[in-house]
Amino acid sequence: MISNQQIALFGEVLFDLFPTGEKILGGAPFNVAWNLQALGDAPLFISRVGKDSYGTDILQAMRTWGMSTEGVQCDPDHATGQVQVELIDNEPSYHIVADSAYDFIHEDQLPVLGNGRLLYHGTLGLRHTASRKALQRLQHSARISIFLDVNLREPWWDLQTVESWLSTARWVKLNKDELRALGFQAKSLADALEKLQHKFQMEQIILTCGEEGAIVREQSGEIHHLAAPPVENFIDTVGAGDAFTAVYLHGLLAGWSIPETLDAAQRFAGKVISLRGATSTDASFYHHFLESCR
């Protein structure tokens, strides 16, 4: 079966467990897919959950939100992903459980992607051989464009493997710490980005810089920089990067200019900072944002 969605997202879905006792759905690809659904982009989310109560909750939440569950596999042997979240000086710290269901996405249970689709994936969801093989099958099964969201979590990455994913990506998003961790250091950020783009020949590099905003470097060498807007009601930064990514992807699908996309992505990330966790179940939260983009 060939899916009709323009965009597919591959990787982890899990529950973020907060010290306050809150249990919030998470995982970068899932957060991005959830936001894209609310923005009207009908994403196909590809992952794996356990045959447990958390897995049941995830599937039910997706159906309630109107998301397709076609790409979500059920694993009888591994539990649904969990992350213990600690907030230290308002910054999240994560303890990520190993050998979760999303580590074992099965290549023989994948939906078929049609040509011309955009495929998003991160790096954490590829820490296990099984899910890496599944992604490779998707990449080779059709002519698709890759958006790579670099998400380096110790000890779940190595340089050689991340470089292999960089070499296949059309768009790459990362932050300043990740740029340095990958070995791209120079006198200026512009020089470091030029080195990264020269080595891997991606169409765009999207660099998030926290309070300093975000930078996009095109293959032509043109650089776009936009400062972050002020945050009105700070709660936590969980999911702010995923919110930015969702709107950036929405802009790519909609054909927005880079300045338009950067502005919208920054504003939406600022809105998510006012939430506990990464997403909202309030459709009006997204509706009001979309109205502001017209």
Structure confidence by residue, pLDDT tens digits, 117-167: 999 999 999 999 999 999 999 998 878 999 999 999 888 899 999 999 999
Tokens of 152: 């380096």
The answer to whether residue 177 is domain-embedded is yes
Q: What is the pLDDT of residue 233?
A: 73
Q: What is the pLDDT of residue 228?
A: 81
Contact 48, 105 (CB under 8 A): yes
The answer to whether residue 276 is domain-embedded is yes
- Mean pLDDT, to the nearest integer, of 169-195? 94
- Fill in the amino acid letter for 75: D
Q: Name the β-bridge partners of 7.
A: 118
Contact 102, 47 (CB under 8 A): yes
Q: What is the pLDDT of residue 17?
A: 85
- Model confidence at 279, pLDDT cuts 50, 70, 90, reads confident
Give dist(CA 167, CA 183) in Å, integer.
15
Give dist(CA 21, CA 176) in Å, integer.
32
- Mean pLDDT, to the nearest integer, of 24-47? 95
Residue 214 in this model has a pLDDT that exceeds 90:
yes
Parent domain of 238: 7-287
User: Percent of the chain at pLDDT above 90?
Assistant: 68
Highest mean pLDDT out of 3-17, 40-54, 177-191, 228-242: 40-54
Q: What is the pLDDT of residue 1?
A: 38
The answer to whether residue 242 is domain-embedded is yes
Give dist(CA 140, CA 138) in Å, integer.
5
Sign of CA dihedral 31, 37, 41, 44: positive
Residue 211 in this model has a pLDDT that exceeds 90:
no
As a whole number, the mean pLDDT across the chain is 90
The CATH number that applies at residue 215 is 3.40.1190.20
The answer to whether residue 293 is domain-embedded is no
The answer to whether residue 292 is domain-embedded is no
Residue 81 in this model has a pLDDT that exceeds 50:
yes
Contact 146, 121 (CB under 8 A): yes
- Model confidence at 67, pLDDT cuts 50, 70, 90, reads very high
Residue 230 in this model has a pLDDT that exceeds 50:
yes
Tokens of 233: 């009601």
- Mean pLDDT, to the nearest integer, of 227-233? 77
**Backbone φ and ψ of 292, nearest 5°:** -75, -15
Separation of first and last alpha carbons in the chain: 35
- Model confidence at 227, pLDDT cuts 50, 70, 90, reads confident
- Model confidence at 249, pLDDT cuts 50, 70, 90, reads very high
On the 0-12 / 13-18 / 19+ scale of CB atoms within 10 A, 17 is: middle
- Number of separate domains in the chain: 1
Residue 2 in this model has a pLDDT that exceeds 60:
no
Chain centre to alpha carbon of residue 200: 20
**Backbone φ and ψ of 245, nearest 5°:** -65, -45
- 234-245 pLDDT tens trace: 766 667 899 999
- 99-123 pLDDT tens trace: 999 999 999 999 988 888 999 999 9
CB atoms within 10 A of CB 29: 27
Contact 24, 276 (CB under 8 A): yes
The answer to whether residue 179 is domain-embedded is yes
Q: What is the pLDDT of residue 116?
A: 84
Tokens of 118: 């955009």
Give dist(CA 125, CA 162) in Å, integer.
12
Give dist(CA 150, CA 172) in Å, integer.
7
SS3 content of the chain, % helix, strand, coil (to 5): 40, 25, 35
Nearest to 24 by CA among 294, 291, 279, 286: 279
The answer to whether residue 264 is domain-embedded is yes
Tokens of 199: 């080595």
Give dist(CA 268, CA 249) in Å, integer.
13
The answer to whether residue 50 is domain-embedded is yes
